[in-house]
Amino acid sequence: MFEELKTFIAVVEFKNFTKASEYLHISQPSVSTHIKNLEKFFGVILINRSIKQKSIMITESGQILYKRAKEIINLLDITKLEVSNVSDSLKGRIKVGASLTIGEYILPKFLSTFIKKYPDIDVEIFIENTSLVCSSLKDLKLDIGLIEGISPSLDFNQKYFLKDKMVLALPYNSDLLSNNFTYDKLQNQKWIVRESGSGTRESLNMFLNVNEISPKNIMMLGSNYAVKEAVKNNLGVTIISNFIAYPSFLNKELSIIDLGDNYNRHFSYITPKNMKLSKASEVFISELNQYALTLQ
């Protein structure tokens, strides 16, 4: 039954029988047999197949089984490690999704120390915006999500691990800074923004709405580095994490203005509810919490 469940998970995730068979290193007829065995066991159709369009569609029953199968296989893997772990070396594999700010500016240094301390834990990092990280975790494609702000789903456990301050970033010698600066000077300016679905874009939108600021135009860029460089090169102004802006401020590339506590946010880790974390995941979270204390 466990092999059938693993096959079913692969078919759902690849949405293709051939790719699933290649991934599992079994024949395509074996994949079909595994799926038929599951359908016979549960007495339901799990996958609708379209021969003409060569596509498949997972039924509602199939979606339920997929989630439970992930839980079962995850628990089996954890149990296997706990039973067979006769050495002091902690082993495992974890998939971590991180929003861009965390992935680009927090994780690199943390991972360098974590991997040295736990060389037998394989960590796969996927860097996407907050919305996509949450979506992947909901589909159980990740073990842990690291996001900015509030989780949009009640399907997750969420705990904060680090406070982040959002700041207004302007070119270092911006004319807006002459005389007494007020938010009124930001009316009809060019703004550099991240894409919708990012935590940074959410904070920027809130700032514009609260202060009733109407941009002259908006340039959307897909990474924090690109946003920072655009502001640095006088293409506009932005709201961005202080973790990103402050090093450029010290290098006299950007000017930053504190927006106050109302624009503080938290980085948090999220995990699926009702899913037991592996020992490797628990250690990763514990070490991340300890590392965060050094950044406060």
Residues contacting 2, CB < 8 A, separation 6+ = 72, 73, 76
Residues contacting 31, CB < 8 A, separation 6+ = 7, 10, 11, 17, 20, 21, 24
In this prediction, residue 168 carries a pLDDT of 97
Which architecture, in CATH terms, is 2-83? Orthogonal Bundle (1.10)
Mean pLDDT for all residues in the chain:
89
For 89-181, strand residue ranges (E) read 92-98, 121-127, 144-148, 156-171
Q: What is the pLDDT averaged over residues 221-244?
A: 95
Q: Report CA-CA distances (Å) from 20 to 31, 231, 248.
A: 8, 45, 46
In this prediction, residue 292 carries a pLDDT of 94
Which architecture, in CATH terms, is 163-265? 3-Layer(aba) Sandwich (3.40)
In this prediction, residue 51 carries a pLDDT of 65
Quick one: what percent of the chain has pLDDT higher than 70? 96
What does the pLDDT look like over 38-86, one tens digit per residue?
A: 888 899 999 987 766 567 889 999 899 998 888 888 888 777 766 665 4
Is 90 in contact with 115 (CB distance < 8 Å)? no
pTM beyond 0.85: no
- The yes-or-no verdict on residue 106 having pLDDT over 60 is yes
Residue with tokens 């109407």: 214
- The yes-or-no verdict on residue 178 having pLDDT over 90 is no
- What's the pLDDT band for 194 if we cut at 50, 70, 90? very high
- The yes-or-no verdict on residue 88 having pLDDT over 70 is no
Domain ranges of the chain: 2-83, 87-157+267-293, 163-265
Which of 224, 218, 296, 221 minimizes the C-alpha distance to 264?
A: 296
The amino acid that residue 184 corresponds to is D
In this prediction, residue 52 carries a pLDDT of 60
What CATH homologous superfamily does 87-157+267-293 map to? Periplasmic binding protein-like II (3.40.190.10)
What does the pLDDT look like over 270-280, one tens digit per residue?
A: 999 878 888 89
- Dist. CA 142–CA 135, nearest whole Å: 10
Topology alike, domains 87-157+267-293 and 163-265: yes
